[in-house]
Amino acid sequence: GAVVSQHPSRVICKSGTSVKIECRSLDFQATTMFWYRQFPKQSLMLMATSNEGSKATYEQGVEKDKFLINHASLTLSTLTVTSAHPEDSSFYICSARLAGKETQYFGPGTRLTVL
């Protein structure tokens, strides 16, 4: 149980385009989903917390207009990187948590490369 999927696993795009990443909880309902960013050989950095049906809460320094998050259902959250630039290239990982529980289950990650 507690499986989280992410799609796509890898994406290469041109500078200026937008990229959408999907995060799905496959066998449970996730009232809260989280989006992280990870640079090579570094720890995970929380970007935003997404609650179903409400606006996402962004961490300090994360541009909400740059990283659009939608959590339209209890099993799906999307992260859209708008007008991507090479500095947005990174590994993006989502996680999902059951209501009232502390454990976060992570997706397999999406490696974004912006040329």
Query: How would you class 84 by CB atoms within 10 Å of its CB: exposed for 0-12, middle for 13-18, buried for 19 or more?
Result: buried
Q: Could you tell me the maximum CA-CA distance found in the chain, to the nearest angstrom? A: 41
Nearer to another protein, 60 or 87 (CB): 60
Binding status of residue 105 toward another protein by CB under 8 A? yes
Pairing mode, strands 110-114 and 10-13: parallel
Q: Is 102 in the site for another protein (CB under 8 A)?
A: yes
Point out which span in 14-22, 61-69, 73-81, 99-107 binds another protein (CB under 8 A): 99-107
Q: Which residues bind another protein (CB under 8 A)?
A: 2, 34, 41-44, 46, 49, 91, 93, 95, 102-109, 111
